């Protein structure tokens, strides 16, 4: 008896694209421009793992640079030390990369850097500290990095997997940054 109900339109197992109840079949409300801008900013913040204040400061820095503010914002986000560590495959997530940087596992140009927001410049050499290479994660890392297709390395970085080091070849351009963020909407959000 109960099974017969599922062949009718009132079956509980049928997924509808509207919420249940008397008022559920109305059309979806269109998201406002402000709502779209806010959602895009929140998406970028979440993707790069930044808090609101850090994101605003990065945007202000991008706005002061010459050129397109949106493009500058993406470049600043991509060249952060924690993001660079993640892009190189030295960490499995940006959160883990931030933790590794904060714990002082990396050197930039021969000096220990433990600031995740450190901005990488063209010609900078980043490497795992010798002392840190004895940890299990970093011991197994070269083998993991040498596995074909394991790391999707951006064109602006040059990786030496055996030495656990890398060099910044040039500043990333929009074509080098593979992201689903519409920075122009974010610029509009902060332009109000």
Q: What is the pLDDT of residues 113-160, one digit of tens each?
A: 999 999 999 999 999 999 999 999 999 888 888 877 666 788 899 999
What is the structure's pLDDT at 4?
64
CA distance 44 to 183: 9
DSSP string of 19-86, one letter each residue: -SSTTTTSPPPPPPHHHHHHHHHHHHHHHHT--HHHHHHHHHHHHHSSS-HHHHHHHHHHTBHHHHHH
Return the SS3 of 7. Answer: helix
Q: Where are the domains of the chain?
A: 34-168
The model carries a pTM of: 0.80
Max intra-chain CA distance, the chain: 75
Are 75 and 171 in contact by the 8 Å Cβ rule? The answer is yes
Instruction: List the single range of 29-33, 50-54, 103-107 with lowest mean pLDDT.
Output: 29-33
Distance CA 95, CA 34 (A): 29
Percentage with pLDDT > 70 across the chain: 89
pLDDT at 14: 67
Distances from the Cα of 113 to the Cα of 52, 128, 159, angstroms: 23, 11, 19
* Contact indicator for 119, 76 with CB cutoff of 8 Å: yes
Average pLDDT, the chain: 87
**pLDDT digit string, tens, across residues 5-27:** 666 666 666 677 777 777 766 76
Distance of CA 31 to the CA centre of its chain: 25
Q: How far is CA 167 from CA 32, 92, 156, in A?
A: 43, 19, 9
Residue 172 DSSP symbol: -
The architecture that CATH gives domain 34-168 is Roll (3.10)
C-alpha span between 158 and 170 (Å, rounded):
10
């Amino acid at each position: 008896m109960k099974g017969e109900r599922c062949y009718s339109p009132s079956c509980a197992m049928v997924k509808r694209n509207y919420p249940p109840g008397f008022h559920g079949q109305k059309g979806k409300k269109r998201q406002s421009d402000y709502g779209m801008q806010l959602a895009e900013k929140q998406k970028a913040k979440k993707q790069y793992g930044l808090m609101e204040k850090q994101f605003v400061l990065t945007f202000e820095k991008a706005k002061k640079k010459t050129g397109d503010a949106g493009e500058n914002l993406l470049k600043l986000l991509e060249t952060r030390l924690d993001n660079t560590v993640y892009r190189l495959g030295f960490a499995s997530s940006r959160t883990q990369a931030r933790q590794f940087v904060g714990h002082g596992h990396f050197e930039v140009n021969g000096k220990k850097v433990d600031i995740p927001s450190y901005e990488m410049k063209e010609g900078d050499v980043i490497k795992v500290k010798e002392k840190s290479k004895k940890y299990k994660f970093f011991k197994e890392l070269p083998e993991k990095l040498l596995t074909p297709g394991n790391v999707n390395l951006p064109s602006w970085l040059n990786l030496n997997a055996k030495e656990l080091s890398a060099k910044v070849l040039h500043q990333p351009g929009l074509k080098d940054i593979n992201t689903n963020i519409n920075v122009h909407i974010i610029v509009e959000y902060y332009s109000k």
